């Protein structure tokens, strides 16, 4: 917590909260931060935790490995995003994905009980926290719809274009950097890496895009 109050004041969970209220909320929810190094496992299907978290810095991936051993990246989260919200459900069905650090990162974890079992200990800010969590969930929903929209295309070029357009919109410029390496992008789009490279080259030849490593430009 120490010196990083600017970060906390800018995340949606504490939207509209004073510094004092943030401190109080963290205390109420038994918040603590933890740092992870790139590639470290944050939590995995095997061992669901009784906590949920907010990404403070860095990037994390939610992914899953299927029977054939190929990985699928559900989504990529960064500062302000909620992770592990499935823990907040009454009917605990276990986590469906692995969470790993895509870059070095820091996460603020909270115990869930004061959210889901309010009858025990209640803190004055709980209702406002719930409202902000509500907003975070809506964002996550939106994100998941987008993801489904992207992978719903039957052909590779449209998948790629759809993804790149969304990224371009997000960064509000034609020239942008994506948070994925080539292999990661392939796992995100559920395609083969070599097929992805091949199609990207074709798209460049066709004058649709230019790119170099993970920076792209839509033409």
The contact set with its own copies (CB under 8 A) reads: 64, 66-68, 70, 72, 74, 85-86, 88-90, 93, 96-97, 127, 130-131, 133-135, 137-142, 144-149, 151-155, 158, 190
* Cβ 39 vs Cβ 184: under 8 Å: no
Residue 51, helix vs strand vs coil:
strand
Q: Please identify, using beta-carbon distances, which residue of 41 and 195 lies nearer to its own copies.
A: 195
Q: Could you list the beta-strand ranges (E) of 71-147.
A: 71-77, 82-83, 98-101, 105-111
Q: Is 174 in the site for DNA (CB under 7 A)?
A: no
Q: Are 176 and 129 in contact (CB under 8 A)?
A: no
**CB nearer DNA, residue 14 or residue 61:** 61
For residue 82, give every residue at least 6 positions away whose Cβ sits within 8 Å of its Cβ, in sequence order, or none.
13, 52, 53, 54, 133, 136, 137, 140
| Pairing label, strands 82-83, 71-77 | unpaired
**214, two tokens:** 């993970």
| Cβ-based nearer residue to DNA, 9 or 201 | 201
- Measured from the CB of residue 184, what is the shortest distance to DNA in angstroms? 7
User: Does 151 participate in binding DNA (rule CB under 7 A)?
Assistant: no
In the three-class reduction of DSSP (H, G, I as helix; E, B as strand; rest coil), residue 201 is classed as helix
CB of 198 to DNA, least distance (A): 4
Closest approach, Cβ 196 to DNA, in A, equals 7
Q: Residue from 181, 206, 210, 215 that binds DNA (CB under 7 A)? A: 181
Q: Where does this chain bind DNA (CB under 7 A)?
A: 68, 70, 154-157, 181-183, 190-201, 211, 213-214
């Amino acid at each position: 917590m120490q010196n990083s109050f600017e970060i906390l004041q800018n995340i949606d969970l504490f939207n509209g909260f004073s510094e004092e209220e943030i401190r109080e909320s963290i205390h109420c929810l038994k918040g603590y931060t933890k740092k992870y190094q790139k590639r470290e496992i944050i939590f995995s299907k095997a061992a669901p935790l009784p906590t949920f978290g907010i990404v403070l810095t860095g990037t994390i991936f939610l992914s899953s490995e299927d029977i054939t051993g190929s990985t699928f990246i559900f989504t990529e989260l960064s500062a302000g995003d909620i992770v592990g919200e499935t823990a907040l459900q009454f009917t605990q069905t276990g986590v469906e994905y692995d969470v790993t650090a895509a870059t070095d990162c820091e996460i603020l974890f909270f115990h869930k009980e004061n959210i889901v079992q309010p009858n025990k200990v209640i803190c004055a800010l709980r209702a406002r926290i719930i409202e902000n969590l509500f907003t975070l969930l809506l964002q996550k929903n939106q994100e998941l719809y987008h993801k489904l929209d992207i992978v719903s295309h039957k052909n590779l070029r449209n998948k790629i274009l759809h993804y790149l357009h969304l990224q371009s919109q997000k960064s509000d410029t034609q020239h942008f950097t994506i948070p994925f390496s080539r292999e990661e992008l392939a796992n995100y789009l559920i395609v083969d890496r070599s097929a992805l490279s091949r199609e990207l080259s074709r798209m460049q030849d066709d004058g649709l895009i230019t790119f170099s490593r993970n920076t792209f430009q839509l033409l």
